[in-house]
A and B are shown apart, each in its own frame.
Chain A
Amino acid sequence: MKHKLVVTLSIAALAIGAGAAFFQSRPMEVAGGPAIGRPAPQFTATDSMGKSHKLSDFKGKYVVLEWFNNGCPFVVKHYKPGNMQALQKEMTAKGVVWLTISSSAEGKQGYLTNETANNLRKEWTMNSTAILMDSAGTIGRMYGARTTPHMFVLDPNQNVIYMGAIDDKPSANSDDIAGARNHVREALREAMAGRRVSMPTSQPYGCSVKY
């Protein structure tokens, strides 16, 4: 709790230092982390190609945040049979911005350098928009990301419309993907059809994020 508070304050301080009016006017949103129907916490991050992204750059588009660790068996469960890549392809083809985020600290499982991240993108045929490098864990802590995978979906106004697990079969076994309800796909389909997201939260499952 103490740790969370320190991180929260330092993020708020950074944001204020950078002159982000969002945090200055709504400090409680930062302290509370993401919540359904509320504005998504804003961040700036650098991707594995060295390109800087501001979350607010993607206003007007749906955004998916996917916490990632290539050494985690739950992540491998969804990548080995191509399940995650297929969903990335399906959704980015519909204009969704898909940000894969690596929050593993240096020396921990899943820590990525730009080079290893870019090799992995190729070898795993990942179709996400970018891999964001977050080895300091700043974005991870801001969102309360606890597992890999841990998924968030933002609507074009950058309100959070889904947070939780990738699907409803908490296991590390790829055989369980068939027949599972993919909460991210369903949330995006419902929202794009102008419907309310019927299951806006679920308990994320997976390995702990290696902060």
Chain B
Amino acid sequence: MSLIAFASLVLLSPRQPDDLVQARLIAEVRSVRPNQSFDVAVELTPKAGWHTYWENPGASGLPTSLKWTLPAGFKAGPIRWPAPRSFNAGGIVNYGYEGRTWLITRVTAPSRLPAGPLRLAVVASGLACDDQCVPFRDSATLTLASGNGAADPSGAQVLAQARRRLPAPGTGWSGTASLSGSTWTATFAAPARLTSVQGARFFVAPGNIVDPDVKERIELVGGRIRVTMTKSPTMGARPTQLRGVLLAGPGRSWPGGHGAIQVTAAVR
């Protein structure tokens, strides 16, 4: 391709504005002791009206990814994703977060801490969209001291707030699922009696299993939650389970008071 062609491509390429998505790193501790595990949150603040994506971005989009650079011997766990919401743009449905969100990661220190200050660095990258989509990338750092593992009060407060947005573990919940033709049916039993599933949603966490563009049907059948979904038209091998998040309807909650629950249905 000629240089002229490249130039016009560059002009047509969306460029990331500096403030598209800003990342900040927050820890619940001020100092770290050997073998300590503690939570850190990557706070993502997109420009007003823009959204970022869940681990399953839905019919388009990209999940946010985190790349860590940690002191020697430190390990970062997987992202614990907040409960997402759905976005519908002209019939194309995505899962993600509008506005500020926190991606929590558990960090574990080694038995022997390296000398000097402990510098944690993260690069958050992904896709931010409003009507259009622009890739984002921002980095954040945080320096902790070696010490007694004391809490950082303001950091702990942010983490506590961030944890409230995580789906609660589905303790006492059970589920099964089956695929017939292009219809997925999942049935969930709650640990306590359910009286309503009005406004409830179920989002499957791995992508390409369920078609996000076809809204699932949720009913209460014999005291259990029955979710009817359409198979993704590009689904590959049949999964052995459907892992996902059950959201209670607006202003409602599941037994135990949680607005969102992590559930898994074994595929039969």
> Does A164 lie within 8 Å of B12, measured CB to CB?
no
Main secondary structure of the interface of B (DSSP, over half): loop
Q: Please state if A170 and B60 are interface contacts (CB–CB under 8 Å).
A: no
Partner of A208, one of B61, B182, B235: B61
**B17 in contact (CB, < 8 A):** no
In the complex the two chains form, what is the Cα distance from A147 to B214 in whole Å?
16
Judge whether A163 is part of the interface by a CB distance below 8 angstroms: yes
Q: Is the CB of A201 within 8 A of B235?
A: yes
Given contacts A125-B1, A201-B235, contact A147 B62 (CB under 8 A): no
What's the Cα separation between A33 and B232 when bound, in Å? 12
Interface residue range, chain A: 35 or more
Tell me whether A1 and B59 are in contact (CB under 8 A): no
B92 touches A203 (CB 8 A): no
Cα–Cα, bound, A170→B209 (Å) = 17
- A4 near B90 with CB under 8 A, answer no
B92 with A206: CB separation less than 8 A: no
A171 at the interface (CB under 8 A from B): yes
B1-20, CB under 8 A of A: which get 1 and which 0?
A: 11011101110111000000
* Chain A residues near B91 (CB-CB < 8 A): 3-4, 141, 211
A-chain residues with CB within 8 Å of residue B112 when the two chains form the complex: none
Contact indicator B133/A146 (Cβ below 8 Å): no
Confirm or deny: A52 has a beta carbon within 8 angstroms of a beta carbon on chain B.
Answer: no
Given contacts A71-B14, A147-B60, contact A207 B129 (CB under 8 A): yes
**Contact call B131/A203, Cβ cutoff below 8 A:** no
Q: A73 to B207, Cβ gap below 8 A? A: no
The answer to whether B233 touches A201 (Cβ under 8 A) is yes
* Cα–Cα distance between A163 and B83 once the two chains are bound (Å): 30
Q: Given A109-B131, A146-B213, A201-B235, do A206 and B60 touch, yes or no (CB 8 Å)?
A: yes
Q: Does B220 contact A (CB under 8 A)?
A: no
Set of chain B residues within 8 Å of A3, measured between Cβ atoms: 91
B168 adjacent to chain A (CB < 8 Å): no
Contacts of A203 in B (CB 8 A): 207-208, 232, 234
**Segment 53-80 of B: residues with Cβ below 8 Å from A:** 59-62
Question: What is the chain B residue whose CB lies nearest that of A147?
Answer: B60
A118 to B215: give the CA distance in the assembly, Å. 38
Q: Encode A45-86 as 1/0 by CB contact (under 8 A) with B.
A: 000000000000000000000000011111010011010010
Interface residues of B in 74-111 (CB under 8 A from A): 89-92, 94
Is B236 in the interface zone, CB < 8 Å from A?
yes
Nearest CB in chain A: distance from B20 CB, A: 12
Bound CA–CA A76/B10 (angstroms)? 9
A20 to chain B, nearest CB (A): 23
Chain B CB within 8 A of A123 CB: yes
Q: Which A residues lie within 8 Å of B133 (CB)?
A: 72-74, 207-208
Q: Is the CB of B9 within 8 A of A1?
A: no
B195 at the interface (CB under 8 A from A): no
Given the complex, which residues of B lie within 8 Å of A109, measured CB to CB?
Answer: 131-132
Instruction: Given A71-B132, A85-B1, A146-B59, verify A80-B233 contact (CB < 8 Å).
Output: no
Contact (Cβ within 8 A) A163 B9: no
Contact B1 A35 (CB under 8 A): no
Extra contacts besides A76-B9, A207-B60 (11): CB < 8 Å: A73-B133, A73-B135, A74-B133, A123-B9, A146-B213, A172-B135, A202-B208, A202-B234, A208-B61, A208-B92, A210-B90
The 9 closest A-B pairs by CB, nearest first: A211-B90, A203-B208, A201-B234, A208-B60, A208-B92, A172-B135, A146-B59, A207-B133, A123-B8
Chain B positions within 8 Å of A, measured between CB atoms, are: 1-2, 4-6, 8-10, 12-14, 59-62, 89-92, 94, 127, 129, 131-135, 182, 207-208, 213-215, 232-236
